[in-house]
Structure 1
Amino acid sequence: MRYLAALFLMSFPVLEVAAGQPVGIDSCRAMALRNNKQMSISEVKQDMARNIRKSARTKYLPGIHAFGSYMYTSREISLLNGDQKSALSNIGTTAANGINSALQNAGASLTPEQLAAINGQLGALGTSIEQIAGGFNEHINSAAAMLNAGGRSLVDAFRTDTRNIFAGSVIVTQPIYMGGSIKAVNRMADIGERMAAGTAEAVRQQTIYDTDKAYWTVVSLKHKKKLAESYLALIKKLRGDVYKMIAEGVATRAEGLGVDVKVNEAEMTLLQVNDGLTLSRMLLCQQCGLPVDTELITDDEDKDKIVPVAVPVEATAVKTAADNRPEIHVLQAMADMSKQAVNLLKAGNLPKIGLTGGYTVTNPNVYDGYQKKFGGVWNVGVLVSIPVWNWGDVAYKVRAAKGASAIAALEVAEAREKIELQASQSAFKVGEASKRLTLADSNVKRAEENLRSAEVGFREGVMPATTVMEAQTAWLQARSQKIDAEIDIRLSDVNMRKALGTLEQ
């Protein structure tokens, strides 16, 4: 329902214009603010600034990251070299050969006479010993085979098979002290949001100002069109009277040609006013977000008199104009932003402390021997980073940022001076416009009286047609100046409120 209501409100001004009803200046302002593309851009920028500010707040919070990896290698890691593998695989054979070699060396140390004497003495016992020795050799060979198998199993146990490696981890990081960089980033985000709001307000006031200017231009040209039509009617009436007098022989052909020239000039003026009015309506329609061919009728164009607005300007309002101007707010925000940029750069020379923790799993793992399955371990620690030497890089950047901050401060001071001057000039123009309107009223009264006297004298035959044409021209100029003075009061009032930063819808 809320969206339907919004759509209805957006379409209401169009329906009102389509119905041919006059549109007041407040309605034009509302349509302009609703349909202005720059206003839409400003709203998007404000939304962006809000999201950036929210993003900056998250820097205070812990971050959680999960990682996973797989790696295949062409060769596996070997904890034993080739000689060690061969020695372990033949450890039984080596031992048996050693024993046999020792027995053979012991037998070789006896002489044949000694061996014969021993055999003679042992007799049947010797035969038994030989049988026992044959069985001993069989046990040695069996033990050698068992040792060889054990060695080979040991070699297999030391095999890593690291050609396929899987790893994964979850890491939690919590910043404790970042040298003030997080605080500076958050302040910059707040300033950015304030800057976006100031820019949007500046666009809003400029939109209202441009709409008012287009609106009162249409009103001015419409009144001048009526004035041009009245003047054309007067000059045509004079032409008819002159041609009647020419026919009666009391006026010359030259007077008739002079009146014809004035008629042509009046028609040309009316044509120019009509063209200007059409173009001005197109501009106002574009400001209001309407099709340029819309017949937009303003509420003040058909009134007999443009009611001026007299707004007194206080001296204190001029002095405090800079505090109300959105442009100053934007420039001040930029100056504050440059100060925070200095703090952000200074953090490069300060230590940074963070708390880390997480859980890591690997396959294969070595947490309980060497296993070809996933195994994990918890970890927690403190990370400290202390900059020791960077050849003055940070110091140079800080100095440059301080220079930019000083420039921004000077620009704010200069803008304040210019705004105060602009406000003073706008207040002066308001008073000047009021004076011009007073003089224009007086001139209109004199011109109307002069025209009345000239027309009476022309009808009585005591004044020539040229005098009447001069009086009509003076009347046209006086009325045109009065219209300009009335419109100028309206525009100077809008310009003054814009200069004071108090231009509201």
Structure 2
Amino acid sequence: MINNIKPIIILLMVTAFCSSSFSQKALSLQETRDIALEFNKILKISSQQKIAAESQKKAAFTNYMPKIEANGTAMYFPTMENMEVPAMTLPSASDHTAASDAWFPGLNLETENLAVISAGVNLVQPIYAGGKIRLANKMTSTGVEIAEQAYQLKEAEVILQTDEAYWNLSAMNEKVKLAQKYVLMLDSLEGTLNDSYELGLVPKSEKLRVTVNKNDAELNLLRARNAYRIMQMNLCRIIGLPLNTEIEITEQLNDSLQLPDFMDGTSQAIANRQELQILDGQKRISEYQKKMTNADFMPELGAQVGYQHYKIGDLLDEGDFTVAASLIVPIFHWNERKHKSAEAKANLNQAMLELSNTQDLIQLEVQQVQIQLQEGYQYILLSQKNKLEAKESLEETSASFEVGLNTTTDLLNAQAAWQDAVAQEIEALTQFEVLKTKYKKVIGLL
């Protein structure tokens, strides 16, 4: 009994250790990205699509190689009886209407319950197929390129989603700290007014006004903590960790600003965007399909070498080698070639128009994100200026309040303005970090 319990205890200890070590995790931005890319199920689906495309390419290449095929046929005739050829005088060789002196004694063929068996092995080699094999290999190679670009596109989308969740969690962490400071600030003011009220220096309404503001601040702190927990769970969901994992953000918002280099942003996007690479690949496939349509109506030449063996009851049991060649020349197909060529041309034109339209949309997207970054940069500068002025105003108002030159309402307003200014800066810095990642994505460098 003790021997059975001991492994269970060890297992429980290991499980508890793993759970405790997994319940809290410190992550940098790059570590979070790596975990998200490893976990993401959409990326796993895209990875399987890459494998399928590569396998299809390898399968297409085998069409260049000779095929070895085996065949076999067995037939059984259970109701067939023996065949008899009656005796007869053979006709004359010079005059088929006259009898000769040759006598045929007759023949009895053993065909009762006849079994016919044939088997063989053939080696088939295509010699010319109108270019279809070469075009099929080009199409599958392009398919591999498209699958790779699609995978990279999904990677960029996952990274952007991860960065947005990471920086929003970092921002909410700063907002929780800000809310805590604001509560402590009001708590200190409430203590000061309580003392003044006890001494009869201020009316009770002044003390109650601060208390009401403090209660609101505590409620906002609770909301901020709950929002932080929800954002934490959202990041856990994205990177595949249990939702109750406590994630510690190791990177903080950086208030030292630097705009990305916008030079050649549009040209970089045209050269690097995965969407354009995919559409360009689809256009090339349409071109190959157009050529494939013409190849369908070209002559086809093939060769075959094989060995075939036949066994027909007791009458025949032998085999022989065979060499064959086949030539197929299309002659008339009721304008099928014309209609298929028109369809292939329309598909090619559609692919070219989609590529051109997407290029225009991407150029517009690059310009939009550049404007958003410039706007975000200016917004941060203004919010930082506003924060400094709010801090200076709060310090001045606090000093004046202590000497009785400002009212409690003035001080409360100054504290609220300071909190709003700091919150605006946090929000501006967060959006700027997300926009920097988004800009890398729109120019195809993420």
Taking structure 2 as the reference length, the TM-score comes to: 0.87
Which residue, 292, 303, 312 being the options, matches 1:355? 303
Distance in 1 separating the partners of 2:146 and 2:20: 36
SS in structure 1 of the partner of residue 334 of structure 2:
coil
Whichever residue aligns with residue 353 of structure 1, its letter is L
- Counterpart of 1:135 in structure 2 is none
Q: 1:143 maps to what in 2?
A: none
Give the paired residue count. Answer: 416
Q: Is 1:502 aligned to 2:442, yes or no?
A: no
Q: What is the aligned counterpart of 1:455 among 398, 423, 428?
A: 398
Tell me, in whole angstroms, the C-alpha distance in 2 between the residues paired with 1:391 and 1:253. 100
State the AA in 1 paired with 2:423.
Answer: S
Structure 1 residue 76: Cα displacement: 4.1
Query: What is the identity percentage for the equivalent residue pairs of Structure 1 and Structure 2?
Result: 26
> Residues 322 and 73 of structure 1: is their aligned pair in 2 closer, same or farther, counting only changes over 3 Å?
same
Aligned position for 1:119: none
Pairwise CA distance, 1:307: 4.4
Query: Are 2:175 and 1:219 aligned?
Result: no
Q: Deviations over 1:96-132 (max 9, x none)?
A: xxxxxxxxxxxxxxxxxxxxxxxxxxxxxxxxxxxxx
Q: Which residues of 2 match residues 150-161 of structure 1 at below 5 A?
A: 151=105, 154-156=106-108, 158-161=109-112
CA distance in 2, matches of 1:252, 1:207: 58
2:322 corresponds to 1:379: yes
**TM-score, normalised by the number of residues in structure 1:** 0.77
Whether contact under 8 Å (1:76, 1:161) holds in the other structure is: yes
- Structure 1 residue 339 corresponds to structure 2 residue 287: yes
- Separation in 2, partners of 1:55, 1:333: 20
Superposition deviation, residue 430 in structure 1: 2.0
How far has the Cα of 1:15 moved from its partner?
9.8
- Alignment check: 8 A CA contact 1:31 1:288 kept: yes
Matches of 2:281 and 2:202, distance apart in 1: 76
1:104 maps to what in 2?
Answer: none
- The two structures, once aligned, show a CA RMSD in angstroms of 2.4
Counterparts of residues 394-405 of structure 1 (less than 5 Å) = 394-405=337-348
CA distance in 2, matches of 1:325, 1:486: 27
Report if the CA contact (8 A) 1:17-1:295 is conserved: no
Q: 2:339, 2:167 → 1: CA distance?
A: 55
2: CA distance, partners of 1:404 / 1:252: 82
- Higher Cα Rg: structure 1 or 2? 1
Q: Does the aligned pair in 2 maintain the 1:335–1:408 contact within 8 Å? A: yes
Residue 417 (1) aligns with residue 360 (2): yes
Matches within 5 A, 1:33-44: 33-44=37-48
Paired residue for 1:486? 429
Q: How does 1:1-400 map to 2 (within 5 A)?
A: 18=22, 20=24, 22-76=26-80, 85=86, 87=87, 151=105, 154-156=106-108, 158-161=109-112, 163-301=114-252, 306-308=254-256, 310-364=258-312, 372-400=315-343
Shift of 1:452: 1.0
Amino acid at match of 2:243: V
CA gap 1:309/1:69 in 2 versus in 1, 3 angstroms: farther
Instruction: Tell me the distance in 2 between the aligned counterparts of 1:258 and 1:167.
Output: 104
Cα distance in 1 for partners of 2:81, 2:414 equals 112
Maintained 8 Å contact 1:309/1:493: no
Shift of 1:464: 1.4
Distance in 2 of aligned mates of 1:394 and 1:241 = 94
Structure 1 residues 36 and 348: CA distance shift in structure 2, 3 A: same
Instruction: Provide the rounded CA distance (Å) in 2 between the counterparts of 1:373 and 1:309.
Output: 93
The question of whether the paired residues in 2 share the 8 Å contact of 1:306 and 1:487 is answered with no
1:476 maps onto 2:419 in alignment = yes
Q: Which has the higher helix share?
A: 1
* Rounded Cα–Cα distance in structure 2 between residues aligned with 1:346 and 1:427: 47
